[in-house]
Homo-oligomer: A and B are copies of this chain.
Amino acid sequence: MTTTTAARKRVQAKAEYDAFLAQCPSRKLLDRIADKWVTLVLAALRSDGSHRFGADCAGEPRPMRYSELSRLLAGVSQKMLTQTLRSLERDGLITRTVVPTVPVTVTYELTDLGVSLHEVVRGLKGWAETHMDDVLANRATYDNQVA
């Protein structure tokens, strides 16, 4: 029964790793994926690139070029973008495809694993945008009470 096996495997994985433990590798992985640039890159690769609002979380993962990403993630440095992309590629979350045109064309695209992570991190970007006003209000209140 594949279903039972898959379910058991998932439970075992859950039991094997625990990010509450300092030495657990999943703690480090959590640190990697809980990152602003990771979140934005994944969101970008799922957007339609038009940068219309609500354009993220579109149906299909869309391949994007380095320069497109660079433009969409406003203000990101080349270093951070490259670093983030390499890290995501190494972890198997995105693929990097080089087309030998002149000049060379490089596209990045989400893998299935990358899509699965995007499902969870897209909530982060959305939450920040949706609750920005609440948080701002709470900060004002807090800072007033302190001062």
Contact = CB atoms under 8 A, between A and B. Distances in A.
Interface of A: 10, 13-23, 25-27, 29-31, 33-36, 38-40, 43-44, 51, 53-54, 72-75, 89-92, 113, 116-117, 119-121, 123-139, 141-143
B116 A18 contact: no
Contact of A91 (B27, B91, B135): B135
Contacts of A91: 135, 138-139
Nearest to A25: B132
Contacts of A34: 34-36, 38-39, 121, 124
B134 A92 contact: yes
Q: How many copies does the complex hold?
A: 2
A44 B21 CA distance: 12
Secondary structure at chain A's binding surface: helix, strand, loop or mixed?
A: helix
A22 B125 CA distance: 13
21 contacts: A13-B131, A15-B53, A16-B129, A17-B130, A17-B132, A19-B39, A19-B125, A19-B129, A29-B128, A30-B128, A89-B142, A90-B138, A90-B142, A90-B143, A91-B138, A92-B134, A113-B134, A113-B138, A121-B123, A123-B123, A124-B124
Contact of A125 (B30, B116, B117): B30
A128 B19 contact: yes
